[in-house]
């Protein structure tokens, strides 16, 4: 038998985060929307984010995935997915503090002191810089070069759509160090401080996220700032990309649950031709389809998270969850907007904001097309067998 029940700790954490989102985050939504309509940056302000993180930390909620030896909670992947689902109930992007990029744990002792520990504590902010103008989903096509010059490396190139790149104090930059060896042996990861000379420019988007374009022009990086082994950067990049892909559809799951609740409530009160639209079969089918897809997505997300927590290869399951989540979340928000009619199209309700933000899920950290390619390739090459998902 398969046991889908949560532990007492998991239920307590899920409920605490749900309450936190309802009491602390959702009340800020109308003000955030008002600021956005007036041309201010979308989302929470730096002051609001700091206050929320301090409040959460005072309750012991700090470093969700950070190992306990570094002062974090060290929670398992399933619990992380539950937390991300609850955070997805609001369109305001919020992360609890005390986190660092997972590949930073591959740092040596000095790098941990200078980068890892300050990042966990919130004193430094990092960004993961691999995507380039000509190398989006094809990470092996990166062109940024790093040339050895004595005890340093000279970096030249450009990165684009880098999350957190405008605010980062340092970047984890992936550059070609040996073109003849290709991606699997010729790419190295560097820890590059902003004051070493790289610059960033924000990229305006239709949603809240404001990624950056980073430019490296003769940026000198000490050899001591190589993260991991020289030439093994691509393996590190795949560790970063593969660790939390299931968390993206997990967050979408929370948003879809809230959106469906809104649709159900509205359909009960909105009347046409003398009856609530909840009585109309067309509306009922949209609600039924959405609920079915939400429950399917929940199982896909939790299955992928469970594989991660068991230390098993979860890449195939994560690709399935992300593909299904991206497609279905966009279908669900579209239905919910349709149920609300003209009101759904206005900026008075959060539906249009969810509509814009959820669209990114089909592109961010691997497009739908890349996920389909991965899933099909795994099957065609025999890496995964049909029906072997629960073995």
Q: Which residues are catalytic?
A: 365
Cα 159 to Cα 136: distance, rounded to the nearest angstrom: 10
Pair 72, 66: CB distance under 8 Å: yes
**Under 8 Å between Cβ of 334 and 293:** no
Our separate counts of H helices and E strands in the chain read 14, 10
Q: Which residues of 117-145 are buried (b: 16+ CB within 10 A; e: fewer)?
A: bbbbeeebebbbbbbbeebbeebeebebe
Contacts 24+ apart (CB under 8 A), 3-8: 4/302, 6/82
Instruction: Please check whether residue 163 is in contact with residue 211, taking contact to mean a CB–CB distance below 8 angstroms.
Output: yes
Do 249 and 325 meet the contact criterion of CB atoms below 8 Å apart? yes
Residue 152 to residue 316: CA distance in whole angstroms: 39
Residues 6+ apart with CB under 8 A from 180: 186
Q: Which helix (H) or strand (E) holds 193?
A: strand 187-193
Within 10 A of 226 (CB to CB), how many other CB atoms are there?
21
- Determine the Cα–Cα distance for residues 253 and 284; give it in Å rounded to an integer: 20
User: How far is it, in rounded angstroms, from Cα 391 to Cα 306?
Assistant: 13
The answer to whether 290 touches 335, Cβ cutoff 8 Å, is yes
Distances (CA, A) of 78 to 263, 300, 309: 28, 12, 7
């Amino acid at each position: 038998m398969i046991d889908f029940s949560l532990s007492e700790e998991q239920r307590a954490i899920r409920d605490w985060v749900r309450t936190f989102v309802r009491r602390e985050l959702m009340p800020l939504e109308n003000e955030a929307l008002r600021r956005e309509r007036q041309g201010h940056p979308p989302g929470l302000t730096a002051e609001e984010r700091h206050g929320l993180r301090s409040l959460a930390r005072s309750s012991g909620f700090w470093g969700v995935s950070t190992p306990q030896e570094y002062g974090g909670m060290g929670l398992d992947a399933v619990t992380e997915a539950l937390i991300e689902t609850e955070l997805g109930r609001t369109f305001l992007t919020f992360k609890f503090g005390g986190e660092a990029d997972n590949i930073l744990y591959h740092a040596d002792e000095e790098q941990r002191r200078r980068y890892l520990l300050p990042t966990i504590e919130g004193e430094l902010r990092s960004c993961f810089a691999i995507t380039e103008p000509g190398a989006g989903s094809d990470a092996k096509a990166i062109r940024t070069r790093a040339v050895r010059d004595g005890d340093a490396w000279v970096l030249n190139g450009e990165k684009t759509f880098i999350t957190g790149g405008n605010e980062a104090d340092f970047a984890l930059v992936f550059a070609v160090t040996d073109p003849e060896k290709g991606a699997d042996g010729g790419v190295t990861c560097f820890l590059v401080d902003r004051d070493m000379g790289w610059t960033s420019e924000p990229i305006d988007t239709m949603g809240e996220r404001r990624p950056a374009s980073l430019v490296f022009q003769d940026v000198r990086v000490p050899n001591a700032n190589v993260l991991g082994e020289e030439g093994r950067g691509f393996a590190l990049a795949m560790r970063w990309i593969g660790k939390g892909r299931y968390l993206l559809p997990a967050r979408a799951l929370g948003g879809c649950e809230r959106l469906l609740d809104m649709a159900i409530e509205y359909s009960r009160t909105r009347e046409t031709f003398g009856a609530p639209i909840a009585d109309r079969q067309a509306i009922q089918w949209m609600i039924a389809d959405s609920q079915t897809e939400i429950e399917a997505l929940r199982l896909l997300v939790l299955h992928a998270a469970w594989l991660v927590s068991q230390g098993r290869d979860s890449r195939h399951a994560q690709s399935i969850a992300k593909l299904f989540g991206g497609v279905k979340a966009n279908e669900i928000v579209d239905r919910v907007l349709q149920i609300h009619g003209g009101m759904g199209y206005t900026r008075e309700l959060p539906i249009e904001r969810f509509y814009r933000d959820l669209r990114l899920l089909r592109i961010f950290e691997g497009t739908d097309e890349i996920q389909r390619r991965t899933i099909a390739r795994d099957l065609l090459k025999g890496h995964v067998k049909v029906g072997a998902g629960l073995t």
